[in-house]
């Protein structure tokens, strides 16, 4: 088996690259270990808690005991399925803030400023709402908004306004800061994953094929990647890349595969008996994520989604979706959002909110046997850093994952601020008809020590791992890829997924991961990048002196 380009991983970025490279006429072969995404658990948006908790679709990773979270092991779901994590995620669509990408540029990722990446966001989108001057209208990725029929969605936005915050009608447009509608990757009632948006159209071409196998190592000869060794049906096979190998296997599996192939920290590779081809100390380092808490309120009125939290209602919602693609099953239920700044002197939002008219965890466990609602809240730019390291030289063994969550004093201060600001929002007049009492953290939790104990016991990953193959300047010893996604020290090998992020972006990572695939495809094809767009984002005019 051989192709011009061999892509490892049919996830958010890998699917986008397969589409663009095949569109350009190249022969593309995509290696994916996971299976089909056909079925209601993935395709029905409201069923989002199922696939990320099913071993059929999820790699089942978890962290090492996190030392600053009481030794808890946190789940780290990654998609093991066509579409990758875009097939098991919450379908929330966020580009990130303009200043996130300017930070990438300033940290050595030349050509990845907001002006550089905005045209790629526009190329990939078909957005049904928002400002057409900032949004895309003819791309493969459909971005929509939920109907926002429940009055709690409007109450959340109005409470933000009453508390003195900005409103925004499009956080993916000129103005991220503020309260407003949330966007989702849903199209015609179905999850619009990277598989639906990009891979299926690509596979309809004669020059794009999919191979189900476990990639075990990149084969490198004379300093050049020439293909990928895979395990299929228990046998080792070799897939040759005539031009390049592209790793798009996730921020967990991409560094693992590099290390198994001899690219990584030399001493760590030697400990596992792996011959060193390129000593890159940054491989697996710089691991980042978003942590979040669920601030939950009991509801005075029986208007939350709890009334559907029974087998009969779920069956009826499922049947309506299955036969008509209408009803509650067509939304992820995250339909109002906010991005705010934690304090004066912060120039762009560093706190994100997802609002949900139900008090429930991502694993589907209900908080209380009564009506309730919640805001997911967390800081966007944690200063903690972790690492992905090898557990074994066996390619079937999961790696060691340690995020080192909450390892800096700033993280604790930021989380306490998140809780207090959220309580203030729920105390606004807009919520008076709805708030009965606080379910979580609860009225007994107020002091710094009490809040810290709550955070230690209840903070959860938002499932946004990134940063483990950092993009940067060639002379940066911790950079793994250069600004054209080429692995430094090895020819014919690139990485294009969330692992290349120098620093985590504001919000959910599916959008920027797809953008990486879009932009990297132009680098791979040797094309000039799309012309930069110098449109300036909205920044709060009084950010130096005011928090809102």
Does the active-site annotation cover 464? Answer: yes
The stretch 249-277 carries a mean pLDDT of: 98
Helix (H, G, I), strand (E, B) or coil at 50: coil
Q: b/e map of 14-46 (b: 16 or more CB within 10 Å)? A: bbbbbbbbbbeebbbbbbbbbeebeeebbbbbb
Residue 183 clears pLDDT 80, i.e. is over it:
yes
Q: What does the pLDDT read at residue 49? A: 87
The stretch 256-266 carries a mean pLDDT of: 98
Would you mind telling me the total number of residues written for the chain in this entry? 548
Assign 365 a pLDDT band (cuts: 50, 70, 90).
Answer: confident
How far apart are the C-alpha atoms of 291 and 209, rounded to whole Å? Answer: 37
How far apart are the C-alpha atoms of 503 and 506, rounded to whole Å? Answer: 10
pLDDT digits (tens, 9 = 90+) for 93-148: 999 999 999 999 999 999 999 999 999 999 999 999 999 999 999 999 999 999 99
Structural domains of the chain, with CATH:
2-525 (3.50.50.60)
Lowest mean pLDDT among 122-136, 174-188, 364-378, 391-405: 364-378
Mean pLDDT of the chain: 97
Q: What does the pLDDT read at residue 360? A: 87
The stretch 31-46 carries a mean pLDDT of: 95
Q: What does the pLDDT read at residue 74? A: 97
pLDDT digits (tens, 9 = 90+) for 501-514: 999 999 999 999 99
| DSSP state string for 437-491 | EEEES-TT--SHHHHHHHHHHH-EE-S--B-TT-B--TT-TT--B-TTSBBTT-B
The stretch 406-433 carries a mean pLDDT of: 98
Q: What does the pLDDT read at residue 430? A: 98
pTM of full prediction above 0.85: yes
List Cβ neighbours of 165 (8 Å cut-off, separation of 6 or more): 178, 179, 338, 340, 548
pLDDT digits (tens, 9 = 90+) for 74-103: 999 999 999 999 999 999 999 999 999 999
Assign 423 a pLDDT band (cuts: 50, 70, 90).
Answer: very high
Assign 64 a pLDDT band (cuts: 50, 70, 90).
Answer: very high
pLDDT digits (tens, 9 = 90+) for 310-342: 999 999 999 999 999 999 999 999 999 999 999
Q: Which of 68, 371, 464, 540 is catalytic?
A: 464
Residue 217 clears pLDDT 80, i.e. is over it:
yes
Residue 368 clears pLDDT 90, i.e. is over it:
no
Residue 348 clears pLDDT 80, i.e. is over it:
yes
The stretch 510-528 carries a mean pLDDT of: 98
Q: What does the pLDDT read at residue 533? A: 97
The stretch 177-183 carries a mean pLDDT of: 98
Residue 367 clears pLDDT 90, i.e. is over it:
no
Q: What does the pLDDT read at residue 361? A: 78
Assign 426 a pLDDT band (cuts: 50, 70, 90).
Answer: very high
Residue 436 clears pLDDT 90, i.e. is over it:
yes
pLDDT digits (tens, 9 = 90+) for 483-496: 999 999 999 999 99
Percentage of residues of the chain with pLDDT beyond 90:
96
The stretch 366-378 carries a mean pLDDT of: 90
Pairing of strands 291-299, 435-440: antiparallel
Residue 53 clears pLDDT 90, i.e. is over it:
no
Helix (H, G, I), strand (E, B) or coil at 28: strand
pLDDT digits (tens, 9 = 90+) for 468-483: 999 999 999 999 999 9
The stretch 272-290 carries a mean pLDDT of: 98
Region label for 418, one of left (φ > 0), alpha (ψ between -120 and 50) or beta (otherwise): alpha
């Amino acid at each position: 088996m051989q192709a011009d380009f061999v892509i490892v991983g049919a996830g958010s970025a890998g699917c986008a690259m397969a589409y663009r490279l095949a569109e350009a006429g190249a022969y593309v072969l995509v290696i994916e270990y996971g299976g089909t995404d056909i079925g209601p658990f993935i395709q029905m948006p409201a069923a989002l808690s199922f696939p990320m908790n099913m071993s059929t679709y999820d790699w089942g990773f978890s962290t090492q005991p996190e030392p600053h979270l009481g030794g808890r092991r946190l789940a780290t779901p990654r998609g093991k399925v066509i579409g990758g994590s875009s097939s098991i995620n919450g379908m929330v669509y966020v580009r990130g803030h303009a200043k996130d990408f300017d930070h990438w540029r300033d940290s050595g990722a030349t050509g990845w400023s907001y002006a550089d990446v905005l045209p790629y966001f526009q190329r990939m989108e078909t957005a049904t709402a928002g400002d057409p001057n900032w949004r895309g209208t003819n791309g493969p990725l459909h971005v929509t908004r939920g109907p926002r029929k429940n009055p709690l969605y409007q109450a959340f936005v109005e409470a933000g306004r009453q508390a003195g915050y900005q409103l925004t009608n499009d956080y993916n447009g000129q103005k991220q800061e503020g309260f407003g509608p949330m966007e989702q990757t849903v199209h015609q009632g179905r999850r619009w994953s990277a598989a639906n948006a990009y891979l299926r159209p690509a596979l309809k071409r004669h020059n794009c094929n999919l191979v189900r196998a476990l990639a075990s190592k990149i084969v490198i000869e004379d300093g050049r990647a020439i293909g990928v060794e895979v395990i299929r049906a228990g046998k080792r096979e070799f897939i040759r890349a005539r031009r390049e190998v592209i790793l798009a296997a996730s921020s967990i599996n991409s560094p693992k595969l590099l290390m198994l192939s001899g690219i990584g920290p030399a001493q760590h590779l030697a400990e596992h008996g792996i011959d060193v081809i390129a000593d890159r100390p940054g491989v697996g380092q710089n691991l980042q994520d978003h942590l979040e808490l669920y601030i939950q309120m009991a509801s005075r009125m029986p208007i939350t989604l709890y009334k559907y939290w029974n087998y009969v209602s779920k069956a009826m919602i499922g049947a309506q979706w299955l036969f008509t693609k209408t009803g509650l099953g067509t939304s992820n239920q995250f339909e109002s959002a906010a991005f705010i700044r934690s304090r004066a002197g912060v120039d762009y939002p560093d706190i994100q909110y997802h609002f949900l008219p139900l008090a429930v965890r991502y694993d589907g466990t209900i908080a209380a046997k009564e009506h309730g609602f919640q805001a997911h809240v967390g800081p966007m730019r944690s200063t903690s850093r972790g690492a992905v390291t090898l557990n074994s030289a066996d390619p079937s063994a999961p790696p060691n994952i340690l995020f080192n969550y909450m390892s800096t004093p700033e993280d604790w201060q930021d989380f306490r601020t998140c809780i207090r600001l959220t309580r203030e929002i729920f105390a606004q007049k807009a919520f008076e008809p709805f708030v009965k009492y606080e379910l979580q953290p609860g009225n007994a939790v107020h002091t710094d020590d009490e809040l810290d104990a709550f955070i230690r016991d209840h903070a959860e990953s938002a499932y946004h791992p990134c940063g483990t193959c950092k993009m940067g300047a060639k002379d940066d010893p911790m950079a793994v890829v250069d600004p054209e996604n080429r692995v430094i020290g090895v020819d014919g090998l690139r990485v294009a997924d969330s692992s290349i992020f120098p620093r985590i972006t504001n919000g959910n990572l599916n959008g920027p991961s797809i953008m990486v695939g879009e932009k990297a495809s132009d680098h791979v094809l040797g094309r000039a990048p799309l012309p930069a767009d110098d449109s300036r984002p909205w920044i709060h005019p009084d950010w130096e002196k005011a928090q809102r």
